[in-house]
Homo-oligomer: A and B are copies of this chain.
Amino acid sequence: MTPDEFRSAGHELVDWIADFRSTIGDRPVEARVRPGDVRASMSLGSLDGPIGFTELLAQVDRVVMPGMTHAQHPRFFGFFPANVSLSSTLGDLMSTGLGAIGLSWQSNPALTEVEEVVCDRMRRLVGLSDSWHGVISDTASSGCLVALLCARERATGRSQLRGGLQRERVALRVYASSQAHSSVRKAALLAGFGLDNLRWVPVDENHDLDPAALAEMIADDLAAGHQPAAVVASVGSTACTAIDPVVAIVEVCAPHDVWVHVDAALAGTAMLVPEFRGLWAGVEGADSISWNPHKWMGTALDCSMYLVRDVDALVGPMSTNASYLASDSGDRVTQYRDWGIPLGRRFRALKLWFQLGLDGVPSMQDRVRRDVDSARWLASTIAATPGWSVLAPVRLQTVCVRHDPGGRSAAELDAHTLGWARRVNESGVAYLTPAQLDDRWMVRVSIGAEATTRRDVQAAWAAMRSEAEDR
């Protein structure tokens, strides 16, 4: 495709996207397809090309649109917000259009140094001290894996440079609350610790990790000759936005040099607003933090901030050295390839820069406050409605809810819960995600799509009542 063809098709696509975003609220939130429908609708001919841009766009309309569940919809309350602001969309387009390739500082100095400046700005925006250093990675899942790999290497004095984890004679242990994200289990298993060495710490009545129980587990493990290596603290857990007490966790871990990773994938964005920073009090004593601007803040996926205090503890285990990556610039420059798993990197700092520059921070702070207010309104409304209950404290923007018409067994109630949530989703009015809490199903209303107003929350609540109470 020539630049002139790109110019013409690009204008067409920009208009298409602007039209799509303008009308997204008129569409059903959830895709109305069954497994295999999209696959069957995709003519292989379209992959053979060359075809014209307008024809391709028509194919995308026909194949993709029916299969979209719209995360950008104002009544999307599923999972966590997965906002893609249009300002960051432009930054991402510029990144792709520039075709920059990050392998080393030398392969594209701008890519590296803009990322340094933007990461430093992001750090300050959430109130972290200058002992923290950030890098943009893809997801918090990768961030958790990197954290546990670094913890493993710190605990073993770099076993990777000798016989590896397989030659260690002491069992390294990892701790997280039973509410921790699924990626913690996955990361611990991939890092080689093994399920037997992953210890689930009990939680209190708010589903926050119980630091006394953690201290006891660590003491028991030490007494048994094991080596505590890492704790993952969830600040804003996925199911119910539980907030593990970072201050207390750091206190328990410090004497034993246990790595503390703070998973604030969602909640990091709340820290843009000073009044919420108490939620991660103690974070300055942690070793690493994951925060996904691609969630609530609205930077286009994938944009996960990974922050560390001790850069050497990150770069040591992650470093690469190869002659074709050598650079005259040596130690004076940051080599981000040694800050994570991939070698090749996109110019992802641009999408953050564009969002900060075009939208401004105050608009993001306003959205955070708006969504928390909506969540509090919804929670109090639900609590005041007979048959309905809020199952966990509303720490931020997620409300955990159940409707109990009475007289049902636990299994029947679970079926009722899953049933009304499914009917709400099928109605197309709103999209909610059921999840388990204390081994029972409930429904999460996770507020925070960029376009979500109070009226959208009210519409979702009306749909919930209608689908749950009328059966």
Contacts and interface: CB of A to CB of B under 8 A. Distances in A.
Interface string A212-228: 00000000000000000
A93 B10 CA distance: 9
B17 A93 contact: yes
A190 B85 CA distance: 35
A214 to B, nearest CB: 20
B433 A324 contact: yes
Nearest to A15: B7
Nearest to A17: B97
Nearest to A300: B96
Contact of A96 (B63, B89, B325): B89
A288 interface: no
Contacts of A139: 342-344
A82 B103 CA distance: 11
Oligomer copy total: 2
A15 B4 CA distance: 9
A116 interface: yes
B98 A20 contact: yes
A18 B7 contact: yes
Which of A71, A345, A422 is most buried by chain B, counting CB atoms within 10 A of its CB? A71
Interface string A32-44: 0101111100101
Contact of A164 (B17, B197, B239): B197
A322 B181 contact: yes
B342 A138 contact: yes
21 contacts: A1-B86, A3-B86, A6-B86, A10-B18, A13-B90, A17-B98, A20-B97, A48-B357, A50-B363, A51-B358, A53-B358, A56-B357, A67-B110, A69-B107, A79-B103, A82-B101, A89-B96, A139-B343, A159-B194, A160-B189, A239-B323
